[in-house]
């Protein structure tokens, strides 16, 4: 088993990574940083450069510019060493439809020059067990549901010990049950210490399972970091519903709260650094009757829309 290169805190790191097709910069000089042990959601609309980036990371296509490391190993110079510790699912599972899940995994494992034949059966059964497919091991692949097919593809990626799992749109086309199955599996793998990089355009899925995100737009990485840190960069809004909007606005203005705006019984403002208890206390002391008092924090969806825009141009 090759040793990990431990000099970097990142499982994946790129420097000005770019890919040009003719006159089109499909990926435009991105600096990606995937922390070791994280579940990193790689977000962006279809055509934003996510899959092209993943193909470069895995050595499937060569970058036009820049460089990158995977598990601390320089690519593509140390590609063989690095990729032995990387499992991946790119653009959906591909198996022999007439063979069972078990038989498909046996074929894949036997084709791996680094696999140990004496442990093959045990590793295959362990991989099927990890993804919950042992009861369906002898069922033909053509009879699998979409969720089962995705889980079998992840099992294939786990035939050898992995430190990084790269999943490109793993819930694409799945029904709610299949989506829950894959989401639970990712959470389990992350709990075992495996770094997981998930490319998706489905914001709701990313929000439920990821600790960090990177957001792509038109080939550029427009933001990345922990979800909490990125949300904290967004301006919060004070929301007050009251039958006394004029008096509420006067109190808030007197306290130095900015951007006070009235619309019927709704008063909104920028609370700045004012403690919520001071604001609510001042309103109550002034006799303002409160139907609602809240500091609304922007959601991940709000952040995503602010970064990618609406009606943006997507690349094919």
Domain boundaries, the chain: 10-231, 237-296
Each residue's pLDDT expressed in tens, for the chain with a length of 316 residues: 444 455 579 999 999 999 999 999 999 999 999 999 999 999 888 889 999 999 999 999 999 999 999 999 999 999 989 988 999 988 766 899 999 999 999 999 998 888 888 999 999 999 999 888 999 999 999 999 888 888 899 899 999 889 999 998 888 777 788 788 888 888 888 898 999 999 987 777 788 889 999 999 999 999 999 988 887 777 788 999 999 999 999 999 999 888 899 999 999 998 888 888 999 999 999 999 999 999 887 777 777 777 776 433 333 3
SS (H, E, C) 128-192: HHHCCCHHHCCCEHHHCCHHHHHHHHHHHHCCCCCCEEEEECCCCCCCHHHHHHHHHHHHHHHHC
Three-class secondary structure of residue 74 per DSSP:
strand
The domain made up of 10-231 is a member of CATH 3.40.50.300? yes
**CATH domain 237-296 topology:** Alpha-Beta Plaits (3.30.70)
Q: Say what the pLDDT of residue 256 is.
A: 87
The CA distances from residue 25 to 85, 123, 148, 218, in Å, are 30, 42, 36, 9
H-type alpha helices, the chain: 50-57, 79-83, 101-110, 120-130, 146-157, 176-191, 203-209, 227-232, 245-254, 276-285, 300-308
80 CB contacts (<8 Å, ≥6 apart)? Answer: none
């Amino acid at each position: 088993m090759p040793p990990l290169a431990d000099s970097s805190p990142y499982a994946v790191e790129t420097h000005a990574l770019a890919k040009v097709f003719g006159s089109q910069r499909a990926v435009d000089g991105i600096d990606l940083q995937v922390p070791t042990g994280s579940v990193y959601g790689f977000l962006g609309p279809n055509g934003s450069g996510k899959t092209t980036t993943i193909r470069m990371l895995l050595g499937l296509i060569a970058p036009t510019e820049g460089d990158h490391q995977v598990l601390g190993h320089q690519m593509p110079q140390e590609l063989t060493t690095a990729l032995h510790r990387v499992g991946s699912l790119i653009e959906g599972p591909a198996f022999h439809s007439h063979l069972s899940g078990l038989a498909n995994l046996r074929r894949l494992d036997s084709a791996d020059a680094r696999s140990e034949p004496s442990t093959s059966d045990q590793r295959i059964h362990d991989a099927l067990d990890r993804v919950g497919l042992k009861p369906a091991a002898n069922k033909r692949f053509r009879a699998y549901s979409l969720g089962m097919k995705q889980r079998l593809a992840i099992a294939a990626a786990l035939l050898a010990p992995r430190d990084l799992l790269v999943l490109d749109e793993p819930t694409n086309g799945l029904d709610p049950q299949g989506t829950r199955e894959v989401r639970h599996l990712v959470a389990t793998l992350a709990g075992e210490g495996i770094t997981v990089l998930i490319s998706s355009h489905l914001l709701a899925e990313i929000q439920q399972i990821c600790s960090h995100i990177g957001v792509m737009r038109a080939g550029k990485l427009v933001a990345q970091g922990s979800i909490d840190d990125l949300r904290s960069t967004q301006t919060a809004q004070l929301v007050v519903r009251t039958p006394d909007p004029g008096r509420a606005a006067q109190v808030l203005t007197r306290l130095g709260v900015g951007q006070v705006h009235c619309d019927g019984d709704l008063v909104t403002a920028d609370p700045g650094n004012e403690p919520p208890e001071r604001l609510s206390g001042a309103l109550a002391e002034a006799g303002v009757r409160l139907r609602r008092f809240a500091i609304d924090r922007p959601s991940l969806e709000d952040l995503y829309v602010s970064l990618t825009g609406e009606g943006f141009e997507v690349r094919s």
